[in-house]
Structure 1
Amino acid sequence: MQRFIGRRHQLRVLSETLASVGGAVGSARPGECILLRGRRRVGKSSLVEEFIRRSGVPSLFFTAAGGSAEDELTELLDSVSHSTLPGRALFAEEAPQQWNAAFRLLAEALPDDRPSVVVIDEVPYLMDRVDAFEGMLQRAWDRLLSRKPVLLLLIGSDLSMMEALNDYDRPFHQRGREMVLGPLNPADLAEMLGLEPAEAFDAALVTGGLPLICRDWPHGGSLWDFLEASLANPISALLVSAERSLGAEFPPQAMSREVLKAIGAGERTFTNIARAAGGVSHTTLTRATEVLTGKRVVAAELPLSTRPSKERRYRVADSYLRFWLAFLEPHMAEVERMRGDLTLGRVREQWTAWRGRAVEPLVREGLARLLPDQGLPAAPAVGAYWTRSNDVEIDLVGADREPVAKRLLFVGSVKWLEKSPFDSHDLAALHKHRAALTDEPVPLVVVSRSGVTCDGPQAVYGPAELLGAWQRR
């Protein structure tokens, strides 16, 4: 069996919560609920399966499939029959025809004298297909399930719907604690794939830290080894995962798909996106970007400074999806006719330039995690700054808040080239851009893949130091 990598914190939280449930056996309301959300294929189900395997307690794992309310209920009954709950035979005897009755029987099937785990996966499907599902779930929890020593895990990939489940005006409000599962981080990838720090960041940019894709990466292998093998296989996880995820969230005819393609191709401004998407109207584009940002597929960002700005820029939020849209999706036909070598050559030609910008959000996240460090204070906001004409672009801006800061804490530059260190010319450009942003002598920060050959920056980070942001300290 393959070793389970990462997720130590999440496994610990789940284990501690289950222990709390077990310690409350015999009390009035020992049950606890966790709302687990994360993008598709990020490993939510695998995490929970591993947790259940380690816990050894009676459990039920039910996954909604997006069918009718009747079909979903049939699947629930089948899942119960294959569960390890001690009272699972009750469902075979009564075969409930309504969800309220199914929840009642489920509560009866749970043990009273020891903890158990009940998992409902893809909850947004049930919210969408089963009338009054949230209300029925709330009543079942309040009156029945929470009175049993059960850990109820509600899992969903539609981030906005899972967040809405816990909104103050929804029936299930404040009945569960929220847990967000992100992709495997660069430190996880370094351990899992046997990579050096710089190569771990490359892996993060291409795979997005999605476990299913990472499994195909040869241990200790290079980026190009991985890409060559994946592009030679038309059904590799690298090629098919994005289409499956998008197909589940956006129908092929939806304008959101065209807008996403335009952003993935490198368009960042509203006007350019509209043009690249086929000249869509302002109203249509606004609606599409709202859908994409609401589902957390696209990030809409403003320049971080002490002055308000309307120069909003868009980017694909997921690293893997960004890579797939830029290099793979436009050329799937050649991969399918076994000419992945052509696609690989295109990646090689454009890789350095694409990576230089693609790594910046990951660098900002790393810095936010590391600080305070090297004399720099903690920064509640780490972003970037740009002007409409792009005559001033600053990769790193630390501030006390965003998007309009009261105080800037530092500015910095990211130079992510393999054979070109940050030098005095780069430092002069950073000084010039800082002067265009602020009159204050805020500290200068440099993040460089190949080191620094000049004096002046207050703090310098390379791949190894940045990787430490995700390692246990």
Structure 2
Amino acid sequence: MTFYDREDELASLETAYSSSGHAFYVVYGRRRVGKTALLKAFCADRPHLYYLAAQEAEGRQREKFVEQVADAFDERIPRIDGWDDAFEYLGEKLETENRVVVIDEFPYLVDENDSLPSYVQAFVDEQLQNTASMLVLCGSSVSTMESEVLGHESPLYGRRTGQIDLQPFSFQQAYDVIAGDIGDAIRSYSITGGTPMYLTLFDYDDSLAENIQTHILSPTAVLYNEPEFLLRTELRNPARYLSILEAVALGQTTPNEISGATGIDSGPLSKYLQTLRRLRLLEREVPVTATRKKSKRSRYRVADEFLRFWYRYVEPNRSSIEEAPSIVFEGTIEPDLPTHVATTFEDICNEAVWELIRRGELEPYSEVGRWWYGEDEIDIVGLAPNDDRVLLAECKWTTDPVGYGLVDDLRKKATNVRWGPKDRSEQFVLFSKSGFVDGLASELDERWLLVDLDDLEQVFSGPFNA
């Protein structure tokens, strides 16, 4: 697989490696996000020791670790009785030769022996800090990494010299991989999202229909059972979590709606939702003008575009896909796909707003997000409290050009956004897949910015001249 981007993360690791003294880095993030690829790219031209833990008995884990250390230093395998001895042996070898030491999937080791962080602490304090070597602990179980490695109660707290919480690619980063027409790129991204494994699996010389049928709708395809695999590696009994994710993907986004769709009472549901958030499979949203912790107007959304696609189209149609995948695509997925893409388009426009702010082509806003109250919703609202300024934007993934109706609608809804003083300044942006009706731009004042797909391509690839 080609290694894409991650320039900032590689630079961070390289700075740590080249600095004087030892380095202790923590790299974590949800599965499939590219942690292993990042670390292998970093280690490629450096003397290193890479150990990938597995879900095995503790004794076998330790044996493999010691074998890996011995092999890295071209030594006979010593007899080791415990993890304290194993790390002491590693420390002795690092006294003679500096290395990058990567322990990947560290949570698997902790699952078998919760004293592992204490052994690593002793190794860091007593041996690693006397070398110029670098230790990297990596893991996909975000909750374990945050509690057992980064948390206040962890023996390792305060010892790391840096950390990377690796995120999926943004659309701008993914566009470098997808290339081509931006409309097609948005459609593809709405299915793969920014997860590198999914993103690079598609062949962008083929049509989107071919990619969906080849890589998702085929029962032998890698992505056909991917969400189930992800949940089963994290949870012992994933059935209720699967039903929650499906409900949210199909539009049941409030706790009451999710409870009604799944039959799970509100008490247990809150725990399930919290777990899915911890696994970074769900996100909780509140209106941008609300206080996150106190607001009771929360909504949930599937945090990954591919999972949203899978739970919307694959899970409910498994039986039919087994028999006739092409009919499912043509009759169910293809006609509804614009509705699915429209949600992704909003997120991409939100990303574009931040990019325009960074470039100084929009005035600065400290918060940008969705807003809703009662029956009113606005796709993007930006707040600039220090300047009493608000940004209001709508995003339309439709086949018809945007006209005066959306302008009037946004003006009306703006009056219901209760934020700031009455004399606040307002800025408006309209994003449109199919452009705008003739004459619209000339009839709007300087507070309005109109952005079509050609403009959006400029935002993500060069200077913006809308």
Question: Could you say which residue in structure 2 is the equivalent of 1:412?
Answer: 393
Distance in structure 2 (CA, Å) of the matches to 1:459 and 1:295: 38
Question: Could you say which residue in structure 1 is the equivalent of 2:154?
Answer: 170
Once the two structures are superposed, residues 128-183 of structure 1 have per-residue CA deviations (whole angstroms, 9 ceiling, x without a partner) of 32131111111111111232222211111122322222123321112221112222
Say whether 1:429 aligns with 2:404.
Answer: no
Q: 1:356 to 1:193 in 2, by over 3 A?
A: closer
TM-score, reference length from structure 2: 0.88
Say whether 1:249 aligns with 2:241.
Answer: no
Amino acid at match of 1:415: K
Q: 1:262 to 1:452 in 2, by over 3 A?
A: same
Question: Could you say which residue in structure 1 is the equivalent of 2:299?
Answer: 313
Contact 1:366 1:466 in 2 (8 A): yes
Q: 1:428 to 1:472 in 2, by over 3 A?
A: closer
Distance in structure 2 (CA, Å) of the matches to 1:153 and 1:338: 47
Distance in structure 2 (CA, Å) of the matches to 1:35 and 1:335: 41
Contact 1:185 1:204 in 2 (8 A): no
Once the two structures are superposed, residues 449-469 of structure 1 have per-residue CA deviations (whole angstroms, 9 ceiling, x without a partner) of 222332335333344554566
SS in 1 for 2:426: coil
Amino acid at match of 2:272: A
Amino acid at match of 2:325: R
Question: Could you say which residue in structure 2 is the equivalent of 1:67?
Answer: 56
Distance in structure 2 (CA, Å) of the matches to 1:362 and 1:379: 17
SS in 1 for 2:155: coil
Question: Could you say which residue in structure 1 is the equivalent of 2:448?
Answer: 458
Runs in 1 of length 4+ with deviation above 4 angstroms?
306-309, 372-375, 405-408, 463-473
Contact 2:23 2:135 in 1 (8 A): yes
SS in 2 for 1:267: coil
Once the two structures are overlaid, the 10-residue window that deviates more, 250-259 or 430-439, is 250-259
**Quick one: which of 26, 43, 56 aligns to 1:52?**
43
SS in 2 for 1:5: coil
Q: RMSD of the alignment, in Å? A: 2.6
Say whether 1:191 aligns with 2:176.
Answer: yes
Contact 1:99 1:136 in 2 (8 A): yes
SS in 1 for 2:201: coil
Say whether 1:387 aligns with 2:367.
Answer: no
Say whether 1:214 aligns with 2:199.
Answer: yes
Amino acid at match of 1:59: H
Say whether 1:282 aligns with 2:254.
Answer: no
Once the two structures are superposed, residues 321-360 of structure 1 have per-residue CA deviations (whole angstroms, 9 ceiling, x without a partner) of 1111111122233333453442453111111112212332
Q: 1:467 to 1:239 in 2, by over 3 A?
A: farther
The residue correspondences of 1:288-437 to structure 2 (distance < 5 A) are 288-305=272-289, 309-337=295-323, 339-373=325-359, 375-388=361-374, 391-400=375-384, 407=388, 409-417=390-398, 419-437=399-417
Question: Could you say which residue in structure 2 is the equivalent of 1:18?
Answer: 17
What is the deviation of 1:116? 1.6
Distance in structure 2 (CA, Å) of the matches to 1:275 and 1:400: 38
SS in 2 for 1:172: coil
Distance in structure 2 (CA, Å) of the matches to 1:254 and 1:442: 47
What is the deviation of 1:302? 0.8
Contact 2:232 2:238 in 1 (8 A): no
What is the deviation of 1:228? 2.8
Contact 1:365 1:382 in 2 (8 A): no
**Quick one: which of 230, 251, 254 aligns to 2:215?**
230
Q: 1:304 to 1:193 in 2, by over 3 A?
A: closer
Once the two structures are superposed, residues 89-128 of structure 1 have per-residue CA deviations (whole angstroms, 9 ceiling, x without a partner) of 25x0x23121111111111223645x42111111222223
Q: 1:371 to 1:130 in 2, by over 3 A?
A: same
Contact 1:413 1:447 in 2 (8 A): yes
Amino acid at match of 1:11: L
Contact 1:366 1:467 in 2 (8 A): no
What is the deviation of 1:291? 1.0
Distance in structure 2 (CA, Å) of the matches to 1:452 and 1:270: 37
Distance in structure 2 (CA, Å) of the matches to 1:435 and 1:374: 27
SS in 2 for 1:183: coil
Runs (5+) with no aligned partner, structure 1: 25-29
Question: Could you say which residue in structure 1 is the equivalent of 2:126?
Answer: 143
Once the two structures are overlaid, the 10-residue window that deviates more, 241-250 or 208-217, is 208-217
What is the deviation of 1:207? 0.8
SS in 2 for 1:153: strand
Q: 1:427 to 1:358 in 2, by over 3 A?
A: same
SS in 2 for 1:237: coil
SS in 1 for 2:416: helix
Once the two structures are overlaid, the 10-residue window that deviates more, 280-289 or 259-268, is 259-268
Contact 2:28 2:165 in 1 (8 A): yes
Once the two structures are superposed, residues 425-467 of structure 1 have per-residue CA deviations (whole angstroms, 9 ceiling, x without a partner) of 1111111110111454411122222223323353333445545
Amino acid at match of 2:51: F
Q: 1:316 to 1:50 in 2, by over 3 A?
A: same
Q: 1:74 to 1:335 in 2, by over 3 A?
A: farther
Amino acid at match of 1:72: Q
What is the deviation of 1:7? 1.6
Question: Could you say which residue in structure 1 is the equivalent of 2:253?
Answer: 268
Once the two structures are superposed, residues 242-262 of structure 1 have per-residue CA deviations (whole angstroms, 9 ceiling, x without a partner) of 222122112344533322222
Distance in structure 1 (CA, Å) of the matches to 2:311 and 2:452: 28
Say whether 1:205 aligns with 2:186.
Answer: no
SS in 2 for 1:36: strand
Once the two structures are superposed, residues 159-211 of structure 1 have per-residue CA deviations (whole angstroms, 9 ceiling, x without a partner) of 23222221233211122211122223333333323322222222222112223
Amino acid at match of 1:48: L
Distance in structure 2 (CA, Å) of the matches to 1:270 and 1:383: 20
Runs (5+) with no aligned partner, structure 2: none
What is the deviation of 1:312? 0.7
SS in 1 for 2:401: coil
Contact 1:185 1:470 in 2 (8 A): no
Contact 2:190 2:340 in 1 (8 A): no
Distance in structure 1 (CA, Å) of the matches to 2:196 and 2:290: 40
Q: 1:172 to 1:468 in 2, by over 3 A?
A: farther
Question: Could you say which residue in structure 2 is the equivalent of 1:36?
Answer: 27
Q: Percent identity?
A: 25
